[in-house]
Amino acid sequence: MSTTQVFVASTLYGVMNLAAAIDTGKFDGSPNVPDDPDRGARRILVISNNALLPEISTPPDRMTGFELLSKRFDRVLSYNDAISPLHPSGWHPRHLEVPMWERYLRRLWDLGDDAVHLIVESIQVDPARAICSMFPDARIDVYADGLMSFGPTRSALEPQVGSRVERLVYADLVPGVTPLLLSEWAIQLQVVPTAAIKQVIDEIAQTTDLSGIVSGIGSGIGSGAVSGGPAAGATPERDDRPVAILLGQYLSALQILTPAEEEQLHLRMLAGAVARGHRRVIFKAHPAAPRELAQSLRAEAARNKIDFEVITAPVLAETLFARLTVTEVIGCFSTGLFTAKEYYGIPVARVGTELMLERLTPYHNSNRIPVTITDALLADLELPVDDAATKITENAAVISGLVAAVGYVMQPRLLAARRPVAEEFLAEHYPAYGRYFKRHRLVSLGLHRAMPKAVRRRTVLRQAAGRARSVARRAPGRVSEQVRGLRRRLSKPPTPQ
């Protein structure tokens, strides 16, 4: 029986990582196993546009650079068209409908009776979860292209899906740290080599026409050029003027910040760039962000008399890293900070992560690990350069322990085996890294017992005081003395250990 590999992607960045994985033989089958079904398998790329309003957004297969990447696949299909008018992120087939949907997709995508090998992203949510359920006999690999792969699985997978996952193929954006995603299933981990990803990025950059997107840079297009790219054999013009790039994320869409708060976050990025002496700044806006968010940035840039541009075109930020002379990349917790750092060696700085750590709710919000890694590893934009450098955690073992501890506190049931690691980390590092944990969460898990004695005592007292205040609001006369007593005890400095 022949095999068809079905790759599912919702972003151009994801397709780029898939291309690098294919180029390095991650999906070629084992040369040591003659009957490996993946040897010579047909490859189909299924594009899913998960935007809130797909009809007015730019899907990955219409973005600059996609045509080059699509050559790795035999066919490119649309998941949105297959299930229209249903939305990819909001629809999942009912159990009784699964056989019907499998027959329909096999006919529509010309799969015939082939064995199917699914390669999906974000398997715990739709559309990947839906596609995996519609092919109940398919092998499954998961690929991860960003920081979220280092965090725990967002929710428990159904056994009939989780038991079929064989591998997690991921980009090594945080060297020395092992992803927690799907670790409860004891799957195989495979790293896509950094050099291969960078090579694919450079291929896209070489064929991307930046004229009309970035001022002062030509397209390098000559006679006989392919549409949308430079002439064959020609080298696109490189912009040698130093520039700092600000990365927008549109956090208000995730309801983490209000639009006004996100606007202030962007202004902090610009103020930090100006304070560091950058006189040319590009703001790479999130594709889904409303244009109003950049208006205050333009006004502030004009007040500071700096050269400022806003890029809303659907191009990868990594294209700018490859084609411009970037002196610094500034953002909140964007994956782009780590691609700039690891792939191009560009200095990076973070801003606003302390606010994110407080705002993310519930505690197991899947953005928590990306924020934690960014806050612990990258320099703070608003500190002097020398001071910020001293606060960067370079010890991979410490970061690995931090990620495991935070991951366990996020998902204690899925990661029950990580509890000893969390206890050890808290006992040794809580004074320095306590900001990444919520005390009430630690107490509810019984992890406060692993803290240093003085910290443990104050944590328990704070919890007791909170409970007493809650009771006092219901019966103020009877417990007011207990509340005052707890306040007195909390006001005393901790006993030195």
176 and 305 assigned to the same domain:
no
Mean per-residue pLDDT for 287-292?
67
Q: Based on the domain organization, do 401 and 461 belong to the same domain? A: no
Please name the residue ranges forming H helices in 360-452.
Answer: 368-377, 385-390, 396-410, 419-433, 439-444
CATH number, residue 144 = 3.40.50
Over 50: is that where the pLDDT of 412 sits?
Answer: yes
Q: Which two tokens stand for residue 117?
A: 């090998």
pLDDT for residue 463: 61
Residue pointed to by tokens 């991951």: 407
**Which residues have CB under 8 Å from 311's CB, separation 6+?**
213, 214, 282, 283, 284, 285, 320
Same domain, 90 and 143: yes
- Confidence band for 479, pLDDT divided at 50, 70 and 90: low
Contacts of 58 (CB under 8 A, 6+ apart): 287, 314
Whole-angstrom Cα distance, residue 363 to residue 380? 23
Q: What would the pLDDT profile of 56-90 be if each residue is shown by its tens digit?
A: 888 999 998 999 999 999 999 999 999 999 999 99
Domain termination residue (choose one: 200, 225, 260): 200
pLDDT (average), residues 257-284:
95
Instruction: Name which of 174, 331, 325 is nearest 268 in CA terms.
Output: 331
Contacts with 204 (C-beta within 8 Å, 6 or more apart), sequence order? 16, 64, 65, 68, 69, 316, 318, 319
Residue 481's domain comprises: 453-491
Say if residue 248 is in the same domain as residue 377.
yes
145 falls within a domain = yes
- Contact partners, residue 150, CB within 8 Å, separation at least 6: 174, 177, 178, 179, 180, 181, 369, 370, 373, 403
Same domain, residue pair 245 and 376: yes
Same domain, 62 and 116: yes
> From residue 222, how far is each of 52, 202, 204, 319, 405 by CA, in Å?
39, 20, 18, 20, 55
Q: Within its chain, how far is the Cα of 275 from the centroid?
A: 28
Please tell me the predicted confidence (pLDDT) of residue 227: 35
Mean pLDDT of all residues belonging to the chain: 87
Return the closest-CA partner of residue 124 out of 139, 140, 104, 111: 140
Mean pLDDT of 477-495: 65
pLDDT at 459: 61
Last residue of a domain, one of 392, 416, 436: 392
Over residues 32-45, the mean pLDDT reads 80
pLDDT at res. 494: 62
Asked if 381 and 412 sit in the same domain, the reply is no
Q: Is the dihedral of CA 279, 285, 296, 356 positive or negative?
A: negative
Q: What is the mean pLDDT of residues 385-394?
A: 54
One domain for residues 329 and 419:
no
- Check whether 491 has a pLDDT greater than 80: no
- Examine the pLDDT at 178 and tell me if it is beyond 80: yes
For residue 475, the model assigns a pLDDT of 59
Q: Per the structure, how many domains does the chain have?
A: 4
Query: Is the domain of 252 the same as that of 297?
Result: yes
Looking at the structure, tell me whether residues 404 and 461 fall in a common domain: no
**Residue 81: its pLDDT value, please?**
97
The answer to the question of residue 216 being in a domain is: no
In a domain, 229, yes or no: no
Mark whether 287 and 378 lie in a shared domain: yes
Residue 386 lies in a domain: yes
Question: Does residue 61 lie within any of the structural domains?
Answer: yes
Residue 206 lies in a domain: no
Does 365 lie in the same domain as 406?
no
